[in-house]
Structure 1
Amino acid sequence: MTASETSHVYLHPHAQTFAPHTRPEVLDFHRRLPGYAPTPLVSAPHLAAALGVGEVWVKDESHRLELPAYKILGASWATYRELETLFGPFEPWTTLDGLAAQLRPHLPLVLVAATDGNHGRAVARVAGWLGLQAHILVPQDMVEARQRAIVGEGARLQIIHGSYDEAVMAAAERADGRHVVISDTAWDGYTRVPGWVVEGYSTIFLEIDAQLAARHAPPPDVVAVQMGVGSLAAAVVRHYRAADMPTRVVGVEPLHADCVLRSLQAGQPVETPGPHPSIMAGLNCGTVSPLAWPLLRDGLNASVAIPDARAEDAMRMLAADGVVSGESGAAGAGGLIALLTGPDARRHRDALDLTPHSRVLIVSTEGATDPQAYARILG
């Protein structure tokens, strides 16, 4: 790596804890969706040895509700709650057919979303479940495999000649009585849906709690989570920075889309202007969600921005432990590799209170959503 590709780190020694925030009804909702099953929690001994810790657990989200990423959890819950707010209250239902029948008097309805891949495909899948249409806006640099996957869900795909952030603005302009915007980032006057997206991700961590309990294992000492606009990281902070479980949280993002790290350094949200060319396409965001920002500002113990080479290292290392993780999915592991194996590793270990006996959790948020790139990186 050249000097310009060195990871950037922000440490927050006085991160706060928060009152516990759990919504068990979210998990109850997800259990009613087609193909629901908890995703695997995998032990990663090769990665643990490389990081110099006692245990690494990887939550493998490469197959979630028959899609190759975790985003369907936030997209489905947020869509359900928004539709109920606009057209409910719904009568009790047990299957999606029963829910879709209650929406038929309000058709046609179009779900609109901006995406750099997985969120848009998830919104399109929910639209298909409910008999709705989907209009998905994507930045011009999205790889063809991810575009085809969205179209394969029956969605209308629109390429925006600009960045993901510009696609978000274009999607917001389409909101009206027939077009319901399902965004995982917030803006002025639009916070309800992104808040439900964050809630939707809580299913991941309730599953992890149960999986660790079944192994008679304690909670992790450190959790590493990738950050785009920050919604998943906000869900991690809500769960793991609870006062009764003060796990340390590390946020990870691409070096050239480091809007969270820059905002932490500035003490307020600042934009990382594009282009955002990282292979970690799901994290190529220039603006942190204002809904996620307070949680990240106060709850992150560390933030690290990594070059693509670190994500590639992590993909190969996770593969050695049997986990297929795409470029964005491996970012959390890549951030820990950068923190714990570089020249300042001792200082970072001390800041995170990591020892050779520590337990670490990583969320691998996607599988090989770009199969050609995955094959090239793994050689």
Structure 2
Amino acid sequence: MRQAPPPFWRPDVHADRRPALLARGRVRAALRRWFEARDFVEVEGAILQRSPGNETHLHGFATTLVDDAGVDHPYYLHTSPEFAAKKLLAAGERRIFDFARVFRNRERTALHHPEFTMLEWYRVGEPYSVLMEDCAALLAEAARAAGVAVLRWRGHEVDPFAEPERLTLAEAFAHHAGIDLMATIAPDGTTDRDGLAAAARGAGIRLAQDDSWSDIFSRVLSETIEPMLGRGRATILCEYPVSEAALARPKPGDPRVAERFELYACGVELANAFGELTDAAEQRRRFEADMDEKQRIYGERYPIDEDFLAALATMPESAGIALGFDRLVMLCTGARRIDDVLWTPVAAPQDGPR
């Protein structure tokens, strides 16, 4: 059995961790100043929500709200401040950001923690390409605040002051896996599972018999492509297949792909951005499809936030992005695990009876 690490509150352990934690504070202050200088308003989305989100592989923490009549109501800790933020856009806010504490179950690795900080920001009436420029600027701001010239993780380095490369998913699949991704996507966005499976096997990817097109896509991406991204300079991976962009709008002129990009540095995914979908009926269809898939895989489904869909119908055209703040701090400090840059990491469950 693996020995548990010493607790973070031990004075010698804290002394080793403290420089990274102080750097965390400097980075957060610098990013907050950057947003405020550009007329963004800082908001605080409620953590308690009727739905934790409706993406297939996201898992929420369930809780119970007891009203003043003593009646129980199922609620969840949010997995993202996205629903609350978009309601504020519908209310009339134009530029907002939120350093949100968020909660995701079934996630604990070197890059995942059950409770973490997500920095989200939104721009009304601006193209999602502006968020790419934001990402480049924020990488540089974070590095300056931490006092470093390079970002590091597991032997890989990135120059945070270099212009990020921009790579489409089709280009990434062709270059890193030798797969013609778009040949497996029809003009209406439907996908060819068997075609992608054959191409993936040809690229040496092991598949399960019941893997869906989405499963195969994710497997190729995580095993073959992601480790090669953000080497030397950051990578912006863009134009995701529309089936892999739950809350993003289709790209004008090509409904096979969506206005979605992810930011990578040192092979680590740092941010996920959308040109936001504002078609409430289409959003409902996507949520229901994802919940059907969640039911099939995990035997559970989450409720749909009807209030969110009502707000979405009146929300203006917007672009939004979520950045893993703790991961950014990791790269700025050279930390090995996300726990190393959290002031009080959540204790791991103890094995055996208590």
Provide TM-score, normalisation by structure 2. 0.27
Q: Which structure has more helix as a fraction of its residues?
A: 1
Q: Which has the higher strand share?
A: 2
When Rg is computed on C-alpha atoms for both structures, the one with the higher figure is 2
